[in-house]
Amino acid sequence: MGKQLRIGMIGYGFMGRAHSNAYKRLNDFFPVEHRIVLQVACARNEEKARAFASNWGYQRFETDWRKVVEAPDVDVIDICTPNDTHQEIAIAAARAGKMILCEKPLARTVAEAQPMVDAVEQSGVPNMVWFNYRRVPAISLAKQLIDEGRIGRPFHYRSNFLQDWTIAPDVPQGGAALWRLDVQAAGSGVTGDLLAHNIDTAMWLNGPITRVVAKTETFVKERMHQLTGKVEPVGIDDACAFLAEFANGSIGVFESTRYARGHKALKTLEMNGADGSLSFNLEECEYLDFFEYTQKETGKSTESHVRGWRRIHVTNGEHPYMNRYWVPGLVIGYEHTFLNALADFVAGLESGVKVQPDFRNALQTQRVCEAVIQSGRTGAWVATGVEA
Ligand SMILES: NC(=O)c1ccc[n+]([C@@H]2O[C@H](COP(=O)([O-])OP(=O)(O)OC[C@H]3O[C@@H](n4cnc5c(N)ncnc54)[C@H](O)[C@@H]3O)[C@@H](O)[C@H]2O)c1
């Protein structure tokens, strides 16, 4: 039996479930030495914490995250709680010498995120932020094609994340289910919640974003707050569109909203370069569309009568992660992105190669988010300060 990785899960909501699923499956699908042990699940409500722990197979539960952070039989703290709690839990976990897997965005602001980076770097604990979309095999394949030089000089990057679930003005804000609409808990609206993912993927594929100019909008200005029972101003961005300059000279267009009637999670990206283009849509996440203008192997352009978009069904054994799953032609889904991320984290522990995105890397995304929010207020271009 290999070494154990004993998990302390904080939060039992959407991500608590998605991550628990990944922990349960890791040793079935990936040949890592560490054995995952679902040690403690934590939530403030005792009944719910007990039920969650029992349902997912955690050995015990706690109602105070501090006890989990301090527990000698826990190796990894997984932060699956709302954004306003990330900093306190992460810093305490780093001081206690625990490995940390933290949900995105790293924090609400850069000022809040920086001490988290300092804490993990001072203590030297392995850390990762769950920007799981990098681990969609088709997006990982996009990275591979870019690194192989198949796109050539990049000109354009465009990316959307569109939803429609907050259009009704009588949706309240705050509290357990709707903390995303409460700026105190979330830090921002679609920028931190949705665009943070797109920004992380964009900088992974296309390098640092140096400047942004944004238009943000709050369509419903007041909502009933579930914690105070009063109608209060809404402080989050309901929608955000921004232009970006990348350090490599290409330009980016990003859009996110929770007001795109009919869209639940339309998440897309497209990249256009001198030698080719790439296109991805989360609703058909097993495909990567590729337009090859210049053939890498010959350096010649594809003859025009056979030139066209190619739809790659990303299910072959040689595609990223796919040799861990089924036979060619059979697809995997959303939940596997967390499994793939976890597998990379554990493999990184074993090889000594630090997994990305770590806290420092996620701080760069936080910087872009903050510049976007700032630009949304002033209408001016804002330098992101992202490290090259
Ligand atoms: N990677 C992704 O694709 C993705 C998707 C959704 C959410 N997220 C992120 O994951 C985090 C959690 O989001 P979610 O959708 O799972 O939220 P959720 O509302 O479904 O769950 C949050 C959980 O945190 C618990 N909680 C809140 N405060 C706590 C405290 N002080 N101590 C212990 N437990 C506490 C709640 O009881 C709940 O179980 C957020 O940071 C969010 O941005 C990431």
- Contacts (Cβ under 8 Å, ≥6 apart) of 32: 2, 26, 343, 346, 347, 350
Segment 238-286, tens digit of pLDDT:
999 999 999 999 999 999 999 999 999 999 999 999 999 999 999 999 9
CATH superfamily to which 4-132 belongs: NAD(P)-binding Rossmann-like Domain (3.40.50.720)
Instruction: State the alpha helices, DSSP H only, in the chain.
Output: 14-29, 46-56, 65-70, 86-95, 110-123, 137-147, 183-186, 190, 196-206, 335-351, 359-378
- Relative to the CA of 15, which ligand 1 atom is closest? 16
- Global pTM reads 0.98
For residues 167 and 25, give the distance between their C-alpha atoms in angstroms, rounded to a whole number: 37
The correct CATH number of 133-383 out of 3.30.200.20, 3.30.360.10, 3.40.50.720, 3.40.50.150 is 3.30.360.10
Are 22 and 41 spatial neighbours (Cβ–Cβ below 8 Å)? no
> By 3-state DSSP, what share of the chain in percent is helix, strand and coil, each rounded to 5?
35, 25, 35
315 lines ligand 1 (CB under 6 A): no
Q: Which of 66, 81, 178 to mutate to test the pocket of ligand 1 (most atoms within 8 A of CB)?
A: 81
- Counting residues of the chain whose pLDDT is more than 70, the rounded percentage is 99
pLDDT above 90 for 329: yes
Verify whether ligand 1 is closer than 6 Å to residue 11 (CB atom): yes
Q: CA 330 to CA 344: how far, in whole Å?
A: 22
Question: Is 69 a residue whose pLDDT tops 70?
Answer: yes
pLDDT tens string 35-44: 999 999 999 9
> Is any atom of ligand 1 closer than 6 Å to the C-beta of 132?
yes
Q: 15 CB under 6 A from ligand 1?
A: yes
- Domains 4-132 and 133-383 in one fold: no
Only one residue has tokens 């501090």, namely 66
Residue 121: pLDDT above 60? yes
Where are the chain's structural domains?
4-132, 133-383
Testing ligand 1's pocket by substitution, the residue of 10, 12, 15 carrying the most ligand atoms inside 8 A of its CB is 15
Average pLDDT of the residues in 203-228: 98
Looking at the predicted structure, is the pLDDT value of residue 378 above 80? yes
Residue nearest to atom 36 of ligand 1 (CA): 11
Taking the alpha carbons at both ends of the chain, their separation in whole angstroms is 42
The atom of ligand 1 lying closest to the CA of 196 is 43
Residue nearest atom 29 in ligand 1 by C-alpha distance: 81
Beta-carbon neighbour count of residue 293 at 10 Å?
17
